[in-house]
Amino acid sequence: MPILPGCYIMKDSNEQIIYVGKAKNLKARVKSYFTGAHNLKTTKLVSEIKDLEYVVTNSEQESLILEINLIKEHRPKYNIVFMDDKTYPYIEITNTMPPEIKVVRTKQVKGRLFGPYPNVKSARDTARLLQLLFPMGRIEPIPNFYEEIGFKIIEANNAFNYNEQVKIITKFLKGDIKEVVNYLSEAMQHYSNILMFERAASLRDNIEHIKTTTEKQIISLNDYKDRDIIGIAYDGEDIALQILFMRSGSIIDQFQKVFSYVGKPDEFILSYLSQYYENHLPDELLFDNTFNENELKAIFGSIAIIPKIGDKYKVANLAHKNAIIDLEKHIMLYRDKQQEVIKALDELKELLNLKSNHLIEVFDNSQLFGTAPISAMVVFKNGRFEKKLYRKYHVKNSKQDDYEAMREVIYRRYQRVLKEGLNKPSLILVDGGKGQLNAAQDVLDSLYLDVKVAGLKKNNKHQLESLIYEGNEIKLKDFKGIYRLLAQLSDEVHRYAISFHRQTRKKEASKSILDKVKGLGPKRQRSLLKKYNSIEAIKLASEEELKELGIPKNVILNLKEVLS
């Protein structure tokens, strides 16, 4: 977690956002939830947190704006007391003549808006100051010493008509405050010198409000477009993608993903993004300068922009900064986990006296009262699951015998390994005890394949308990690292097998007896079922009736045989 300003997003076990908060220091703020005592509500919130995400901002001011946008968009239950549909104020210069300077809380205006401003008082005080400096036809009920300061600014810029004064005000609200602040500072010094301390103090406060109000905000843009801001960071293995979703000019959400890539990272991410935006596109896509603009234009057209300057550049850079942090966080987490895996693999290698531990293949069988019997194999290579090497098997000859099913699948797998010259595993693991282990070992011996094999024995709660190896049972409670590794392998192969078994059962359940008739494809089946309401009616149909449906004689004979 970075020591930077931003927003943190807390989620429950259902991936629902339950709380959004802001922080000047993300690491310290988030840590505070998990240390020390808290009130009842905070304690309840912490007990429900199952996942946590964050978005880094450039300042605490920006985090305030982002927080309210996220809360209004997602309405987290622990933020509900703060949600009264209020929004941060904007300063409007109207299109009327003479123009007016107003503080508004709605974007439904015809004039030009500046903001939003998280500090409401400073926004109001700054708008009031501008009204006093540049009355533009407005008459104050009491003497206005600010008008003298404003007149000096107008005179210096030859801005004696309203349009020219609006240009000065616009420049000021866009952040170029130097000229106005200089004149105010001179006036403050003047009034201080002539002992008019109240006026000097008033001007001092005005200058502070100006600096607070016009601090540059890039979490919102005032054109109110829907745009996605995309930043990436990558190393030799992984790409971090960060997409900030800006809707009606305000960032309301984010999408982050870190994944491994194949080939060149720039080509891979463009392929991913072209699929991501296949069915929807916002008004504009902003990309950080990691991308190639010509390649982006070829895919997304004119809505793809790599900004070089201004607020759009800053917000694109913000997405890039978040992607870098995501990648660094992923590397740190992965490195720690990977080091644990490597250590456990080395311990397993030593425990079983293996020559190598780089390739492990794990098997599990699944069936329900003999229906849809299957087996599955997962592959653990160089400390990672290699899903492209996973295999599924329909058990053909051993419907209800788990040992024979293991024999069949082990034979099919390793006969192919030998026949095709595939890499032999360092270790084979089978889900089960001595019976499954012996069945697998018998097949390997018959193939003259010298590969170590061990059994993953479960207790009566179906929890991994021990490793069966070379006639011995090794209790795993004293080998915590090995236990965690083997439990992970066991869980993965079980998940894969169960998933495949459900698919197979679903497919079997949807099958018809007509599927068993050789030569009777889907089209002919539909013709039969359209004319006859039941299998019994098809069974009683004459050969001549069936010929009228375009069914050949040999297929009719097959049909009668299956239905007899």
- Whether 56 and 96 share a structural domain: no
Q: How far apart are CA 362 and CA 166, in angstroms?
A: 74
Question: Which band of pLDDT confidence, cut at 50, 70 and 90, is reported for residue 83?
Answer: very low
Asked if residue 353 is part of any domain, the answer here is no
pLDDT digits (tens, 9 = 90+) for 312-330: 999 999 999 999 999 998 8
Other beta carbons less than 10 A from residue 558's beta carbon: 17
Asked if residue 46 is part of any domain, the answer here is yes
Is the pTM here over 0.75, yes or no?
no
Asked if residue 348 is part of any domain, the answer here is no
DSSP characters over 437-464: HHHHHHHHHHTT---EEEEEEE-TTS-E
Asked if residue 549 is part of any domain, the answer here is yes
Range of the domain at 556: 513-563
Q: How far apart are CA 47 and CA 101, in angstroms?
A: 48
Q: How far apart are CA 147 and CA 139, in angstroms?
A: 11
Nearest to 322 by CA among 288, 273, 283, 291: 288
Nearest to 366 by CA among 382, 357, 377: 377
Asked if residue 87 is part of any domain, the answer here is no
- Whether 375 and 498 share a structural domain: yes
- Whether 504 and 517 share a structural domain: no
- Whether 383 and 449 share a structural domain: yes
Q: How far is CA 419 from CA 326, 415, 422, 423, 424, in A?
A: 45, 6, 8, 11, 12
The DSSP 8-state label assigned to residue 194 in this structure reads T
- Whether 265 and 283 share a structural domain: yes
pLDDT attached to residue 212 = 64
pLDDT attached to residue 116 = 64
- Whether 288 and 323 share a structural domain: yes
pLDDT digits (tens, 9 = 90+) for 254-284: 888 887 775 578 877 887 888 788 767 888 9
Share of the chain above pLDDT 70, in %: 91
**Tally of domains in the chain:** 5
Q: Is the pLDDT of residue 137 over 90?
A: no
- Whether 502 and 526 share a structural domain: no
- Whether 242 and 209 share a structural domain: no
- Whether 538 and 486 share a structural domain: no
Q: How far apart are CA 104 and CA 225, in angstroms?
A: 19
Query: Is residue 265 reached through a cis peptide bond, with omega within 30 degrees of 0 on the bond before it?
Result: no
- Whether 523 and 426 share a structural domain: no
Q: What are the start-end ranges of the H helices in 379-521? A: 402-420, 434-446, 480-509
Question: Which band of pLDDT confidence, cut at 50, 70 and 90, is reported for residue 81?
Answer: very low
Task: Tell me if 482 sits within 8 A of 476, measured CB to CB.
Answer: yes
Other beta carbons less than 10 A from residue 415's beta carbon: 14
Kindly provide the residue ranges of all beta strands, DSSP E only, lying in 326-368, ordered along the sequence.
359-368
